[in-house]
Amino acid sequence: MLESKIPDGPLEDKWSNYKAHAKLVNPANRKKLEIIVVGTGLAGSSIAASLGEMGYKVKSFCFQDTPRRAHSVAAQGGVNACKNYKNDGDSVFRMFYDTIKGGDFRAREGNVYRLAECSTSLIDQAVAQGVPFGREYGGYLNNRSFGGVQVSRTFYARGQTGQQLLLGAYQALMRQVAAGTVQLFARHEMQDLVVIDGKAKGVIIRNMDTGAIERHAGHAVILATGGFGKIYFLSTLAMGCNGSAIWRAHKKGALIANPSWTQIHPTSLPQSGEYQSKLTLMSESLRNDGRIWVPKQKDDQRPPNQIPEEERDYYLERRYPAFGNLSPRDIASRAAKERIDAGYGIGPLKNAVYLDFSKAIREQGENAIRKKYGNLFRMYQKITNVNAYTEPMRISPAAHFSMGGLWVDYELMTTIPGLYALGEANFADHGANRLGANSLLQACVDGYFITPYTIANYLADEIRTPLADLNHPAFAEAEDNVKEQLRLLLAIQGKQPADFFHRALGKILYDKCGLSRSAAGLEEAITAIKDLRKDFYKDLYVPQGLGVNAELEKAGRVADYLELGELMCYDALTRNESCGAHFREEYQTPDGEALRVDKDFSFISAWEWQGADKPPLLHKEPLHFEFVTPTVRSYK
Amino acid sequence: MHIRLKVWRQETQDAAGKMESYELNNVSDDMSFLEMLDMLNEQLMKQGIRPVEFDHDCREGICGQCGIMINGRPHGPLKNTTTCQLHMRTFRDGDEIYVEPFRATAFPVKCDLKVDRSPFDRIIQSGGFISTNTGQAPEANTTRISSPLVESAFDAAACIGCGACVAVCKNSSAALFTSAKITHMALLPQGKEEAQARVLNMVKQMDEEGFGHCSNTEACEAECPQEISVLHIARMNWEFNKAHALKK
């Protein structure tokens, strides 16, 4: 059932061979083919713009008021590309190896090599679009080192790389809208996927201004809807980020892979109060110059600047001397949690650690630090009222990036023919843990350089297939189901708003299926989520009205999260090992490091929906390592 | 903190709107303004009142989706701050706060505090891009750009398209938004080829959308969360005049 379609042959030739042999669609035939793209972040905008340029007819949907708001905009740190501009030994193979290793050997070699291979073209593409990457004084591009690697391969546009890359993709998309190849539908949310004769043929969409339910047909459907880390409620994601599009596709037959692997980011601002709606991320680039520590003494009440050097525990430098403060995210997050749980946490809720710039400021001067991170320091001060130039920042781990997502093959096609998943919406490339600055990269190359080739390979056989009839019973049935679900949510008329259930779900997941997990905890979580879901359908309150109704939108997303959350726990429960973002308390070395079990778990878990209240069905795609040998990740 | 709110309520674009009064207790200093509105909505829903619709998404000050008039100022009283980054510690116990949508003919109200900012997308569609196709780009370092130049372009490119500049302007002019994009591209070598057509088309589209003229009061810069400078407007005028003069 799970055919990964990795091309044969040497690693470095797989992608060129694929491109050389993939089927093509004649330019004259492209305008006969219509493609639906859901989501307008880096993956969605870049694929919609690319397909538009090629001459396909594209419909682009987003739930925000304009495509430029997609959450890719918030990525601060940078984007990786193995250009070797610093002559420090970088290469496609080295980037491939770092990414495979960073993902704890739980990704496909072929996909990861292609990611590294396409990375260099992305910088060229973005520069051509006018993305203002940082430059050296001679006018050449600058780059820097980022968490988990020992070469400088991260390109950046101040602390707003995501914003600038997204604007590049958004502008390319707007150019196609003006050219008439792309039709744009902002404030439109996908409600369901339409499958006819086993192939993806359209979507049901809710117009969020009028409440109208619309049918749209396409020869192929692309989901580029981002990740579902917001399932934890408190996360670094935008408020609207959700898992609904991929979840509805899952219920229509698309398998979901590795759903429990959600990256917890080490450098977020800590929670400060009960009404808090999100945790703000501070770019990981801060770890280039900031040193992370907690007091050596438990419950130390002294302000940080009064704690002398010898009474500070720089625990990352102590435990992982080779990488220190630049240890990969899973290592850095877990080490922080370990200190916090052991009673060394700082701040009013004792839920944070210090990120200290005093040494860097002493050595490089305040101006140098201001130049590199000025906007982040300003943002920190706005939120916390603390000046991080004179006092260490307080940071804490927070849910961030979903490595799991819809299962896709090498062509980025899901198990439903004609349905593609790009960027964070798919599971590919990152394995069990994503390296810093690889998320923007994956989203962009999926959209600009990979799918334009792979989708043609599918569409070449669809040229004579007419667009699905909007009156087909499959459309009617999907629309009826959507309307029925909306009616159901509006009819409950209980007492608690959707956020109440979302917070409760987030707490269960953070405690039992977050930074560390245990079999007993996961079983408790599954029961608790089932109970919470029952309560949701008894006690949810949604204000009436089918027009603009943000609470109704939230309720639909929380309903999906309540099912997805349970699947995450099943996934975590079946994996009896510690690996990347998944740390099972039963599987650790004597000194508390993750204990991976390659002989039993070197596979991708792909889950099939069996119906409400039935346990999901696990399929396994074995991982083969031909070109690297999985080793224990040691950052000591 | 105890906070008294006067909030603009308008069910649909065509409905008449009015200010409604609400009171909130136990507002904490650390809450963001939007979290305070979340709290208000929870309270309203408990009373069976339709919650206040407002636009927001990233809540990190970068997506540009939030934006409301707070005591008559876009994004509230702090300089260079989006609504989501405005915290309640800025206000005092017992304060009365007026909350309204951005007001401009070109930004019709959709519901309560939500407005339609799609005219900005149409301005970008009219020329706010560099015409480059996917997969055609030359090696990036063949385009050398000095660091000061790229930083200047970045200063303009940092615009988040929130619309505060329009909302504060007595003429509802979109000059700051449009000029930021024009400057970003006009400064860079990649954008020079199309500079003439770009500025003419974008200015034309801006006028057609119903935005007013710039009369140099500079309130836009004062209220811009990203500190976009009015000097970009001067550059837009320069580029516009140059394009006109050179137009064949």
ipTM: 0.98
| pLDDT tens-digit readout, B144-168 | 999 999 999 999 999 999 999 999 9
Nearest CA to CA, how far is A564 from chain B (Å)?
22
Q: What is the residue type of B23?
A: E
Decide: residue B83, CB within 10 A, 0-12 exposed, 13-18 middle, 19+ buried: buried
| pLDDT tens-digit readout, A470-500 | 999 999 999 999 999 999 999 999 999 999 9
Q: What is the residue type of A1?
A: M
Nearest CA to CA, how far is B88 from chain A (Å)?
10
- Cβ contact A454:A412 at 8 Å: yes
Q: How confident is the model at residue A625 (pLDDT cuts 50, 70, 90)?
A: very high
Residue A171 touches chain B, beta carbons under 8 Å: yes
Q: How confident is the model at residue A634 (pLDDT cuts 50, 70, 90)?
A: confident
Percentage of residues in chain A having pLDDT higher than 90: 88
Q: What is the residue type of B92?
A: R
Write out residues 595-634 of A within 8 Å (CB-CB) of B.
none
Decide: residue A626, CB within 10 A, 0-12 exposed, 13-18 middle, 19+ buried: exposed
| pLDDT tens-digit readout, A553-578 | 999 999 999 999 999 999 999 999 99
Tracing tokens 């990375």 back to the chain, one arrives at A119
| pLDDT tens-digit readout, A431-473 | 999 998 999 999 999 999 999 999 999 999 999 999 999 999 9
Decide: residue B14, CB within 10 A, 0-12 exposed, 13-18 middle, 19+ buried: exposed
Write out residues 191-230 of A within 8 Å (CB-CB) of B.
209
- Cβ contact B31:B37 at 8 Å: no
Q: Is B43 helix (H, G, I), strand (E, B) or coil?
A: helix
**CA–CA distance from A585 to each of A327, A488, A519, A520, A576 (Å)?**
21, 40, 9, 10, 10
pLDDT at residue B52 above 80?
yes
- Dist CA A34 CA A182 (whole Å): 10
Cα of first residue to Cα of last residue in chain A, in angstroms, is: 40
Residue A74 to residue B42, Cβ atoms within 8 A: no
Q: How confident is the model at residue A592 (pLDDT cuts 50, 70, 90)?
A: confident
CA A17 remoteness from chain centre: 29
> Nearest Cα to A581, choosing from A266, A199, A318?
A266
> Nearest Cα to B33, choosing from B98, B85, B92, B108?
B85
**CA–CA distance from A280 to each of A107, A244, A337, B109 (Å)?**
29, 23, 18, 29
Residue B52 touches chain A, beta carbons under 8 Å: no
- Contacting residues for A632 by C-beta, under 8 A, at least 6 apart: A596
User: Average of pLDDT values for B98-122?
Assistant: 98
User: Average of pLDDT values for A153-178?
Assistant: 96
Ranking A320-329, B7-16, B100-109, B165-174 by mean pLDDT, the lowest is A320-329
Residue A164 touches chain B, beta carbons under 8 Å: yes
- Cβ contact B189:B120 at 8 Å: no
User: Angle, to 10 degrees, between the axis of helix B118-125 and the axis of helix A161-179?
Assistant: 70
Q: Which residues of A touch B59 (CB under 8 A)?
A: 238-239, 277-278, 280
What CA dihedral angle connects B227, B232, B233 and B236, to 10 degrees? -150
- Dist CA B124 CA A544 (whole Å): 36
Q: Is A436 helix (H, G, I), strand (E, B) or coil?
A: coil
Residue B71 touches chain A, beta carbons under 8 Å: no
Q: What are phi and psi of A207, to 5 degrees?
A: -75, 115
Residue A376 parent element (H or E): helix A366-384
Q: What are phi and psi of A154, to 5 degrees?
A: -105, 120
A221: left (phi over 0), alpha (psi -120 to 50) or beta: beta
pLDDT at residue A142 above 80?
yes
- Dist CA A131 CA A213 (whole Å): 37
The residues of A carrying an active-site annotation are 329
Q: How confident is the model at residue A38 (pLDDT cuts 50, 70, 90)?
A: very high
Pairing label, strands A57-61, A79-80: unpaired
SS percent in chain B: helix, strand, coil, step 5 = 40, 15, 50
How many Cα atoms occupy the beta-carbon half-sphere of A266 within 13 Å?
A: 35
- Dist CA A617 CA A610 (whole Å): 7
Mutate to test the interface with B, among A129, A283, A541 (most CBs of B within 10 A): A129
> Nearest Cα to A329, choosing from A511, A153, A147, A152?
A147
Q: Which tokens sit at A125?
A: 């593409």
Q: What are phi and psi of B212, to 5 degrees?
A: -85, 180
Q: How confident is the model at residue A147 (pLDDT cuts 50, 70, 90)?
A: low
The two counts, helices (H) then strands (E), for chain A are 18, 19
- Cβ contact A411:A458 at 8 Å: yes
Ranking A187-196, A326-335, A473-482, B88-97 by mean pLDDT, the lowest is A326-335
A365: left (phi over 0), alpha (psi -120 to 50) or beta: left
Q: Which residues of A touch B188 (CB under 8 A)?
A: 130, 132
Residue A132 to residue B150, Cβ atoms within 8 A: yes
A438-470 core/surface letters (b: 16 or more CB in 10 A; e: else):
bbbbbbbbbbbbbbbbbbbbbbeebeeeebbee
Q: What are phi and psi of B184, to 5 degrees?
A: -50, -50
Pairing label, strands A405-406, A220-223: unpaired
- Dist CA B26 CA A478 (whole Å): 45
Q: What is the largest CA-CA distance in chain B?
A: 65
- Contacting residues for B192 by C-beta, under 8 A, at least 6 apart: B186
- Dist CA B18 CA B20 (whole Å): 6
How many Cα atoms occupy the beta-carbon half-sphere of B147 within 13 Å?
A: 12
Rounded to 5°, the CA angle A427-A433-A436 comes to: 105
Residue B243 touches chain A, beta carbons under 8 Å: no
User: Average of pLDDT values for A312-330?
Assistant: 90
Q: How confident is the model at residue A150 (pLDDT cuts 50, 70, 90)?
A: confident
User: Average of pLDDT values for A119-131?
Assistant: 97
- Cβ contact A487:A541 at 8 Å: no
Q: How confident is the model at residue A22 (pLDDT cuts 50, 70, 90)?
A: very high
Q: How confident is the model at residue B248 (pLDDT cuts 50, 70, 90)?
A: low
Confidence (pLDDT) at A436: 87
- Cβ contact A144:A154 at 8 Å: yes
Ranking A13-27, A56-70, A164-178, A591-605 by mean pLDDT, the lowest is A591-605
Cβ–Cβ contacts within 10 Å for residue A493, how many?
11
